[in-house]
Amino acid sequence: MTDNRDILITEVALRDGSHAIAHQYTVDQVLNVAKALSDANVPYIEVSHGDGLAGSSLQYGLSKTDEMKLIEAAVSVAGESKIAVLLLPGIGTLHELKEAANLGAKMARIATHVTEADVSAQHIAYAKELGMETVGFLMMSHMAPVDKIVEQAKLMESYGADTVYTVDSAGYLLPDQVRERIRALKQSVGVNVGFHGHNNLSLAMANTLAAIDEGANRIDGSVRCLGAGAGNTQTEVLIAVLERMGIQTGVDLYKMMDLAEEIVAPILHVPQEITRDSLTLGYAGVYSSFALHAKRAAEKFNVDSRDILIELGKRKVVGGQEDMIVDVAAEIAKARMK
């Protein structure tokens, strides 16, 4: 029996995966991955710096290649697939959003901390003016109660978002917590509901299936699990699981397998797996992109990266506060010298 639910996949390896390779994507890599994703009939392909448009900086990590060149390259081979971009207000501006749209990006995913949807109003509205499909992306959604998430999602809907996402940026949520959040959104908003998971506690697939079971119809995945921390829900595995469940996505499973094995695997600096640092991210509820920053700070100050991440979790540090990582490492090192 076939389940005819309309599950649309957004592939995030060319954005979230940028964290895993220290933002070193080349034009050729993006061309090869985007072309293969288009050939596999993936509906949306997200391309930008890991921290979104204009993220290339000393604080977030410098890109090897101007992201606009990467977006332009992806658009040139996208075919029927649509290129998406991520924008975090306060990092990216309307200027970058317009430039991406002019290059052919068709979807804007406007990401805020889960309690700060109000800062997305201008960007969502402008993306609509540019003719882009718009997504409200509520990051670190484990850090707010369900009623607050609903309130913030309704704000994004009122600004013009076509879809609102529960985003498990830390890979911290358990399946029942995902169910609760998605169910509440489905009951409260009139737009599409999406889910973006991370695999730091080995729950990305379970959480994604829980989200789908509760009615989420926009789902993120990363081929070969290429994403921040331990990566995201592995796209090719998700396609296989959904097919076994009788849920058709329109994505070609064999082509996704081949892409993962032959094109993406060689890009990875190390295989995506749950290391002690990524496990600590999920355990402590810390933003997944902090892993590499914490590792570097730990080496610099000769401290344990897990201690840095646990302390960041206690302080409820969120995306955009990367400068705190070095401060915490320095404090831990100083305390041990006493």
Residues known to be catalytic: 19
Q: Report the relative pairing of strands 8-11 and 218-221 from DSSP bridges.
A: parallel
First to last CA, the chain: 67
- Is 49 assigned to a binding site? no
Phi/psi for 322 (5° steps) reads -60, -30
**How far apart (Å, rounded) are the C-alpha atoms in residues 176 and 156?**
24
- For the beta carbon of residue 6, count every other beta carbon within 10 angstroms: 11
Q: Are 86 and 50 in contact (CB under 8 A)?
A: no
Q: Which residues contact 87 (CB under 8 A, 6 or more apart)?
A: 48, 52, 53, 96, 97, 108, 109, 110, 111, 123
Total residue length of the chain: 338
- Is 113 assigned to a binding site? no
Cα torsion for 239, 109, 199, 203, to the nearest 10°? -70
Q: Among candidates 94, 99, 102, 191, which has minimal Cα distance to 110? A: 94
**How far apart (Å, rounded) are the C-alpha atoms in residues 90 and 123?**
11
Phi/psi for 152 (5° steps) reads -70, -40
DSSP-derived letter for residue 232 is B
- Is 196 assigned to a binding site? yes
**How far apart (Å, rounded) are the C-alpha atoms in residues 40 and 258?**
10
**How far apart (Å, rounded) are the C-alpha atoms in residues 259 and 158?**
38
**How far apart (Å, rounded) are the C-alpha atoms in residues 41 and 253?**
10
Pull the structure tokens for residue 314. Answer: 């206690």
- For the beta carbon of residue 263, count every other beta carbon within 10 angstroms: 17
Place of tokens 């392909």: 45
- Is 126 assigned to a binding site? no
Binding residues: 15-16, 169, 196, 198, 287
Binding residues for Mn(2+): 16, 196, 198
Binding residues for substrate: 15-16, 169, 196, 287
